[in-house]
Amino acid sequence: MGELARRTPDDNVTGPFGAYGFADVNKFLMVYKFGLAEIGTKINILAEELAHRGRGNPIEHVSPRLKTPASITAKARRIECPLTFDDMRARIRDIAGIRIVCGFVPDVYTVARMLTRQPDVHLVVTKDYIAQPKPNGYRSLHLIVEIPVFLSDQVVAVPVEVQLRTVAMDFWASLEHKIYYKHDADVPAALRAELAAAAEDAARLDERMQRLHHEIHGPRQ
């Protein structure tokens, strides 16, 4: 219940979620919390088991996050989604999100494959911003997966956004995010170009580290 307890009064409900009460909102968010827990367990199992195989753990760190009610309603307004639970459930697929940061680019694809080939994980959408980086330089592999959550009287397929990237990509994305917010989304052109160039540098660093790793350890499976 950590995430819910930490919410600010602004996130509470009567405003952003219209007629819905706090208990309704908590119930709406609950399955996403469970979905995150299910995916989190799968990733922890993979990380621990892969570490035991003795060739190093491809997963550096994992951070789950649940969108706050304020951020859910902000997105709903942005995409012109009515503020009903049914509409938001259908159209906002990143209420539950988990970021998996890996050592090397091939690890990103290995972990994605290991996760999505599990029979209870249903892959809904893949966006490969590593193969095709965004114009600003952003790189990551994004998956929307659905995972079954077993409640007392029903099974709910919960969507979870999984973002996989390397440490270098994560470093870039964190700083870009900060700069973007600092400039209130209106980043000067010269700074945009510098950021895109820095993303290329990060990609080259990834290649270089991967080459070194390959020389020392041979190819990963």
Annotated catalytic residues are 161
Binder of residue 173, out of Mg ion, ligand GTP, none (CB less than 5 to 8 A by kind) = ligand GTP
Nearer to Mg ion, 111 or 162 (CB): 162
DSSP type of residue 81: -
**CB 24, min distance to Mg ion, A:** 23
Binding mask 68-107 for Mg ion (x = CB under 5 A): --------------------------x-------------
202, 168 contact by CB (below 8 A):
yes
Smallest gap from residue 96 Cβ to ligand GTP (A):
12
User: Based on CB atoms, which residue is closest to ligand GTP, 65 or 220?
Assistant: 65
- By C-beta, is 38 or 94 nearer to Mg ion? 94
Specify whether the CB–CB gap between 95 and 68 falls below 8 A: no
**In the complex, least distance from residue 66 CB atom to Mg ion, rounded to whole angstroms:** 12
Contacts of 212 (CB under 8 A, 6+ apart): none
**Is position 176 an interface residue for Mg ion (rule: CB under 5 A)?**
no
How far, in Å, CA of 71 to CA of 214, rounded? 42
DSSP 104-131: SHHHHHHHHHHHHTSTT-EEEEEEETTT
Q: Which regions of the chain does DSSP assign to beta strands (E)?
A: 59-66, 96-102, 122-128, 141-150, 155-166
Positions touching ligand GTP (CB under 6 A) are 75, 94, 127, 134, 136, 138, 142, 163, 173, 176-177
127 binding partner (options ligand GTP, Mg ion, none; Cβ < 5 to 8 Å by kind): ligand GTP
Four-point Cα dihedral 50, 53, 54, 59, nearest 10? 0
38 counts as binding Mg ion under rule CB under 5 A: no
Least distance in angstroms from the C-beta of 2 to ligand GTP: 21
Nearer to ligand GTP, 42 or 139 (CB): 139
Do the beta carbons of residue 96 and residue 161 sit within 8 Å? yes
Which stretch of DSSP H or E encloses residue 139? none
Question: Which spans of this chain sit near Mg ion (rule: CB under 5 A)?
Answer: 94
